[in-house]
Amino acid sequence: MNVLVSKCLLGCKCRYDGDDNKIKEINQIRKNNPSLNFIGICPEVEGGMEIPRKPCEIKNKKVINEDGVDKTLFFKKGAEISKKKALKNNVKVALLKAKSPSCGKDYIYDGSFSKKLIKGDGITCQALKECGIIIFNEKEIDEFSSYIIGNFS
Ligand code: SF4
């Protein structure tokens, strides 16, 4: 089964600051579910942004970096690429990085660059949800594992 995963959770150093967000559980999940095929996405890099880059947040439906420069088009392009990848590979479930203006699910930063969270989804998460894809973030790794075991083992 194909599962879309934020590349930084897989250990790719594609984060805005050149680091990763690798989660330790990922190798065990792979071992326990050999039929899983993780398809990595990094909408920001695939949308044309560089590593490293200035951090971005969503404000008034636009994505701005910390200098106030509008980067919305990069984020929309990245979301479109991720959506196409998901549809082409018949993806039904995704594991995405929490709080990101691209991958974040349910909560994102509020656009003030002060670490304040508000309800909302990142641009790619929104696009994938609209396709009916079930999204988990890395804080929900146990729920993700249970879902995989319950539906695809
Ligand atoms: Fe990770 Fe998504 Fe940000 Fe890429 S866009 S670094 S995959 S959270």
> How far away, in angstroms, is 137 Cα from ligand 1 center?
12
- In the reported structure, the alpha carbon of residue 145 is separated from the centroid of ligand 1 by a whole-number distance in angstroms of 21
Spacing of C-alpha 71 from chain mean position: 17
Give the pLDDT of residue 137.
98
Per-residue pLDDT band at 149 (split at 50, 70, 90): confident
pLDDT in tens, 70-108: 999 999 999 999 999 999 999 999 999 999 999 999 999
Q: What is the pLDDT of residue 151?
A: 87
Structure tokens at 94: 């995704």
Of 105, 85, 96, give the one whose Cα is nearest residue 23: 96
Q: What is the DSSP letter of 74?
A: H
Check residue 53 and report its DSSP letter.
Answer: -
Q: pLDDT value at position 153? A: 66
Domain spans in the chain, listed from the N-terminal domain onward: 2-152
Cis? peptide before 52, omega within 30° of 0: yes
- The response to whether residue 3 sits with its C-beta less than 6 Å from ligand 1 reads no
ipTM > 0.90? yes
Q: To test ligand 1's pocket by mutation, which of 3, 5, 7, 75 has the most ligand atoms within 8 angstroms of CB?
A: 7
Report how far residue 12's alpha carbon sits from residue 22's, in angstroms, rounded to the nearest whole number: 8
Compute the distance from residue 134 Cα to the ligand 1 centre, in Å.
18
